[in-house]
Chain A
Amino acid sequence: MRLLRSFTLVTSLLLAFSPAQAAQTNVAVAANFTDAAKEIAALFKQKTGHEAVLSFGASGQFYTQIAQGAPFQVFLSADDSRPRKLVEDGLAVADSRFTYAIGKLVLWSKSPGIVKGEETLKAASFAKLSICNPAAAPYGLAAVETMKSLSLYDTLKPKLVEGATITQAYQFVETGNAEVGFVALSQLSGSDVGSRWVVPQTLYNPIRQDAVLLKSGAGNGAASAFITFLRGPEARAVIEKYGYVLDGQS
């Protein structure tokens, strides 16, 4: 009896102390948010001592993996429909979902003077235009919406090449294999290489990027701390710095 009581005491002490201790959480991050997420994770560690281990990929890929029990506790999607679906599937905590950033789509070329605006798309004097997979990545969908709004989708379709993620779409332009590509503004932040056209918001549906706490992270202090941190002023400053619009400001 005494043994049991002391055991209970030790356990409850451990439990009581654990939130204060440094913990780890696995975060699935949409590829467009790569650089911002790294910076936020570093600040998060400084501030709380917790470590956010980041994985980068296409939102669709993460959705599938999470549905199959992938060991992530937090999901930073590039859209709002996949986090919502995860909540509906009972895989995510409903009231944890919020829009952490609104993404901006950019048409970009590595060479100066190539991208001037929508006339670049109309003239179509390029061989390859890279986008990311519209079915798996929201920025790819936004790119398709933009071309459709300009009634150029059918003309440009034969020139499209698809990357699995926005990172790959960027890298196709970076290596020069595609002259132009639709990428995320966040990928170009801190550099003014080449030429770019920030696509007007009127041409595509806003890329509302939602974060959500997954059910597997509900008991993980570091996971909920990360979500809280993401809503805080330090994280918001980083998000803005990378060219995103914050929810309620656009």
Chain B
Amino acid sequence: MEIWSAEIRQSVLLTVELAAISTVILLMLATPLAWWLAHAKGWWTEIIASVIALPLVLPPTVLGFYLLILLGPDGPGGWIAHLWGGRTLAFTFEGLVIGSVVYSMPFVVQPIRNAFAAMGERPLEVAATLRASPLRTFWTVAVPLARPGFLTGAVLGFAHTVGEFGLVLMIGGNIPGRTKVLSVAIFDYVETSRWREASMLAGLMVIFAFAVILTMTLVDRRATRAAT
């Protein structure tokens, strides 16, 4: 029996695809959010920040339950699915992307927000006195300075999406090539006593997780050294 079967290849590819697309969307949404959170002064700022951070604390089953209803035919997901003739966003790759974005948002927003906050107002003010437009300041001053924050956010967002399980189990429907991601495939193999496949994928995940954590530590160390 071939261990690196088409089935396994498919779920690895699907997982990478899901994590990559989610990370791009996460960065696009998290950057303005983090910027706003780092600079807004109102008391409601922390309320919004807390709402974004909710998935850190909530069990994935809570998100899974809400998403199953929201993505379903009677929820907004159903209305969106109608646009291309579908009935529900559950059991679709798009549905998983939506779930992943919600689920991993705090892991991306927080490091970027911290990076924006850490640089302070000073570099932005200097840029302003040099007549740089706010947009130009953002791209040429703030973003490069916050690079470690972006890197951390992207890696964490990607990794957290790869590690997502409960949510996918609840809204995915276990469809090969569309929603059967690695974590669910492992669950499936364990349930059906296919130890060889399970241990191979599990080993792969351990190596991946280790690489992520090591990368994070190294990025963090470099950033600290650069700051001092």
Contact = CB atoms under 8 A, between A and B. Distances in A.
Interface of A: 58, 60-61, 63-64, 67, 127-128, 130, 133, 135-136, 160-164, 172, 175-179
Nearest to B78: A176
Residue among A60, A130, A164 with the highest chain B CB neighbour number at 10 A:
A164
A120 B54 CA distance: 43
B191 A162 contact: no
Nearest to B169: A164
A158 to B, nearest CB: 9
B191 A61 contact: yes
B116 interface: no
B193 A60 contact: yes
A33 to B, nearest CB: 18
A161 B174 contact: yes
Interface stretch (B85-93, B154-162, B210-218): B85-93
A107 to B, nearest CB: 17
A176 B188 contact: no
A8 B91 CA distance: 63
A-B pairs, 4 with minimum CB distance: A161-B173, A162-B174, A177-B90, A135-B192
Contacts of A179: 87
B149 interface: no
A136 B88 CA distance: 26
B190 interface: yes
A144 to B, nearest CB: 14
Contacts of A63: 193
A121 B102 CA distance: 36
A128 to B, nearest CB: 6
A161 B192 contact: no
A133 B87 contact: no
Nearest to B69: A175
Interface residues of B, number: 21
A179 B68 CA distance: 14
B187 interface: yes
Given A128-B91, A179-B87, 14 more contacts: A60-B193, A64-B190, A64-B193, A128-B88, A133-B188, A135-B188, A161-B174, A161-B175, A162-B174, A163-B174, A164-B174, A172-B90, A177-B90, A178-B88
24 contacts: A60-B192, A64-B192, A64-B193, A67-B193, A128-B87, A128-B88, A128-B91, A133-B174, A133-B188, A136-B191, A161-B173, A163-B174, A164-B187, A164-B191, A172-B90, A175-B69, A175-B90, A176-B73, A177-B71, A177-B72, A177-B73, A177-B88, A177-B90, A178-B88
Nearest to A60: B191
Contacts of A162: 173-175
Contact of A175 (B72, B174, B188, B192): B72
Interface in B111-127: none
B74 interface: yes
Which has the most chain A C-beta neighbours within 10 Å: B71, B91, B187, B188?
Answer: B91
Contacts of A58: 191
Contacts of A172: 90, 173
Contacts of A161: 91, 173-175
A175 B191 contact: no
Contacts of A133: 174, 188, 191-192
Contacts of B173: 128, 130, 161-163, 172, 178
Nearest to A137: B191
B172 to A, nearest CB: 8
Contacts of A163: 173-174
Contacts of B175: 160-162
A128 B72 CA distance: 12
A207 to B, nearest CB: 18
Contact of A136 (B72, B86, B188): B188
Contacts of A178: 88, 91, 173
Interface string B39-75: 0000000000000000000000000000011011110
Contacts of B192: 60, 64, 133, 135-136
Given A60-B192, A60-B193, A61-B191, A127 B174 contact: no
Nearest to B170: A168
Nearest to B81: A127
